[in-house]
Amino acid sequence: MPEKVDAIVVGAGPAGTAAALVLAQAGLKVAVFERGEQPGSKNMFGGVLYYTEVLEKILPDFWSEAPIERYVTRHDLVFMTDDSWTSVSFTEKQSGQPPYNAVTLLRARFDRWFAEKAREAGALLIPETLVDDLVRDGRKVVGVKTTRDDGVMYADVVIIAEGANSILAGKADLGGSPSSVDFAVAAKEVLALPREVIEERFNLEGNEGAAYSFVGAGTQGLPGGAFLYTGQASLSIGLVAMLKPLQESKISITDLLEHFKNHPGMRPLLKDATLQEYSGHLIPEGGMGMIPRLYGDGVLVAGDAAGFLCSSGFRLEGMNFAIASGFAAAEAVKKAREGGNFSQNGLACYKKLLEQGFVLPTLQAFRHAPGFLANRRIYDVYPSIICGVLGRIYKSDDKPRRKPLSLIRAEMKGKVPLWSLAKDAWRGGRSLLW
């Protein structure tokens, strides 16, 4: 491996690969370290990638070349109790031609493809290599130390994109001290199911796809949520639970997932599906409150390592934030190189680039969401009330019919005081609506 390059990227996920690809396209010598056997080997994400025009800036033919599973035409938000469920569904028929608002994909395939694009552009990919420290000259980061025999590589700048709970981000002295309240645990399975069965079962045509989000009994009332996404010939199913409440509950994430899969509303959707893969990992959900200083002397941080994930209550976005932040990091490095200044001042434009795009403005807009979404009433009380009211509306007996407001009051009795409902409504509006 070379002794020195223009830039080092740690992590070959979407953020790191986007940064490496943009830098390589600009003619810089860039090395990408990946601790897995190959990009994507540690990540079996099967989820939704939301549209960002950054993709077309990086690769104009992105939509026609990327290993996309399906383009999402239906989003369902499902509220569940142990024996009932109701959903809000939005369907938008699209032409089936790119660009797409959202697509489902499998990261194991996508990451390999994306990294190959960076390699074709000239980036040096170094897999099966753990970067365990930064090399400094005084305050400035000038390289990395790896577990390889020829373990040190030098560069003008290091981009840290190694994922959630980044060790290197802490060693870069960028401040910020995330705690267990800032993270969630995700567990997911990829289940094989024939394409024609998926399309019939989920009422899809061609390459249409569906994305489901579940609130309530899926996590047994713990703060978090569950999901199901359709692939070409697979289903990606899993759940996310906030780390601290999960630890306090003494329930394992695998038990939660099995409980969710056996819910009476899920069994028909998963019938005859066979397990292909299983994985669990941490995700950053602290929002603006957990983001460290984003740059220092000779160093930048991007993607999950920077806490760039947004949970808006309606959807969970991470990949588009990662790719956009990787792009911005590369653009900042290019500007710093033009000025010959890789100090903190020379890299300060990184934050400005993120502010000009959607990453930091979106996180700022939803800065109160993490605190609101930690409210357990969202996951145990309110799904019960919603399903209970609908159950009363559709129940047939010989008693006089009651208006919905009366049914709501009856269902709320003993579950949540009116003042708590008002407080939650105000906090929810401030966090998610206005």
| Average pLDDT rounded to a whole number, residues 152-163 | 96
pLDDT at 374: 93
Q: Which of 262, 284, 306 is the last residue of a domain?
A: 284
Lowest-confidence segment of 12-21, 118-127, 136-145, 274-283 by average pLDDT: 274-283
N-term to C-term CA, the chain: 52
| Average pLDDT rounded to a whole number, residues 167-187 | 85
The percentage of residues in the chain with a pLDDT greater than 70, rounded to a whole number, is 98
Give SS3 for 316: strand
**Same-domain status, 252 and 385:** no
Q: Which of 367, 387, 414 is the last residue of a domain?
A: 367
> What does DSSP assign to residue 345?
T
CATH of the domain at 229: 3.30.9.90
> What does DSSP assign to residue 251?
-
CATH of the domain at 22: 3.50.50.60
How many other β-carbons are positioned within 10 Å of the β-carbon of residue 71?
Answer: 21
H/E stretch holding 14: helix 14-25
Lowest-confidence segment of 112-116, 126-130, 147-151, 192-196 by average pLDDT: 147-151
CA dist 221 and 238 (Å) reads: 15
The model's confidence at residue 64, banded by pLDDT at 50, 70 and 90, is confident
> What does DSSP assign to residue 126?
E
Cβ-Cβ contacts under 8 Å for 273 (sequence gap 6 or more): 191, 192, 193, 235
pLDDT at 41: 64
Q: Check: CB of residue 385 under 8 Å from CB of residue 412.
A: yes
Which runs of consecutive H residues, i.e. helices, occur in 242-309? Answer: 243-249, 253-261, 267-270
Q: Which of 92, 47, 86 is nearest to 190 (CA)?
A: 47
Could you tell me the residue range of the domain that residue 239 belongs to? 181-284
269 DSSP β-pair partners: none
How many other β-carbons are positioned within 10 Å of the β-carbon of residue 336?
Answer: 24
CA dist 384 and 62 (Å) reads: 43
**Same-domain status, 132 and 250:** no
User: Tell me, what amino acid is at 429?
Assistant: G
In b/e form, how buried is each residue of 158-185, taking b as 16+ CB within 10 angstroms?
Answer: bbbbbbbbbbbbbebebebebeebbbbb
pLDDT at 46: 61
**Same-domain status, 406 and 359:** no
**Same-domain status, 171 and 198:** no
**Same-domain status, 126 and 173:** yes
The model's confidence at residue 150, banded by pLDDT at 50, 70 and 90, is confident
> Is 88 contained in some domain?
no
**Same-domain status, 164 and 302:** yes
The model's confidence at residue 176, banded by pLDDT at 50, 70 and 90, is low
Write phi, then psi, for 126 (nearest 5 degrees).
Answer: -120, 95
The model's confidence at residue 1, banded by pLDDT at 50, 70 and 90, is low
> Is 79 contained in some domain?
no
pLDDT at 132: 92
pLDDT at 180: 81
> Is 301 contained in some domain?
yes
CA dist 154 and 141 (Å) reads: 9
CA dist 410 and 389 (Å) reads: 9
CA dist 80 and 384 (Å) reads: 7
**Same-domain status, 265 and 134:** no
Q: pLDDT tens digits for 370-408?
A: 999 999 999 999 999 999 999 999 988 888 889 989 999
Q: pLDDT tens digits for 279-322?
A: 888 899 999 989 999 999 999 999 999 999 998 888 889 999 99
> Is 76 contained in some domain?
no
**Same-domain status, 10 and 132:** yes
CA dist 136 and 428 (Å) reads: 45
How many other β-carbons are positioned within 10 Å of the β-carbon of residue 109?
Answer: 16
CA dist 189 and 276 (Å) reads: 7
pLDDT at 107: 87
Q: pLDDT tens digits for 24-51?
A: 999 999 999 998 888 766 665 568 999 9
Write phi, then psi, for 273 (nearest 5 degrees).
Answer: -75, 140
> Is 423 contained in some domain?
yes
pLDDT at 229: 96
> Is 98 contained in some domain?
no
How many other β-carbons are positioned within 10 Å of the β-carbon of residue 129?
Answer: 21
> Is 75 contained in some domain?
no
**Same-domain status, 362 and 220:** no
**Same-domain status, 131 and 27:** yes
> Is 72 contained in some domain?
no
Q: Which of 326, 344, 367 is the last residue of a domain?
A: 367
Q: Which of 236, 239, 237 is nearest to 184 (CA)?
A: 239
Q: Is the pLDDT of residue 333 over 60?
A: yes
Higher-confidence residue of 70 and 166: namely: 70
User: Tell me, what amino acid is at 306?
Assistant: A
| Average pLDDT rounded to a whole number, residues 336-358 | 97
pLDDT at 174: 86
The model's confidence at residue 354, banded by pLDDT at 50, 70 and 90, is very high
> What does DSSP assign to residue 400?
P
| Average pLDDT rounded to a whole number, residues 157-177 | 87
Which pair of structure tokens corresponds to residue 261? 């899969």
Q: pLDDT tens digits for 220-271?
A: 999 999 999 999 999 999 999 999 999 999 999 999 999 999 999 999 999 9
Give SS3 for 85: strand
User: Tell me, what amino acid is at 410?
Assistant: A
Contacts of 167-170 spanning 24+ positions with Cβ under 8 A: 167/132, 168/10, 168/131, 168/133, 168/134, 168/144, 168/305, 169/292, 169/301, 169/305, 169/306
**Same-domain status, 279 and 237:** yes
Beta strands in 41-173 (DSSP E): 46-50, 68-80, 85-91, 102-106, 124-126, 131-137, 140-146, 152-160
**Same-domain status, 313 and 250:** no
CA dist 326 and 345 (Å) reads: 19
In the block, residue with structure tokens 């990086």: 58
Give SS3 for 37: coil
Total number of domains in the chain: 3
Which pair of structure tokens corresponds to residue 3? 């002794």
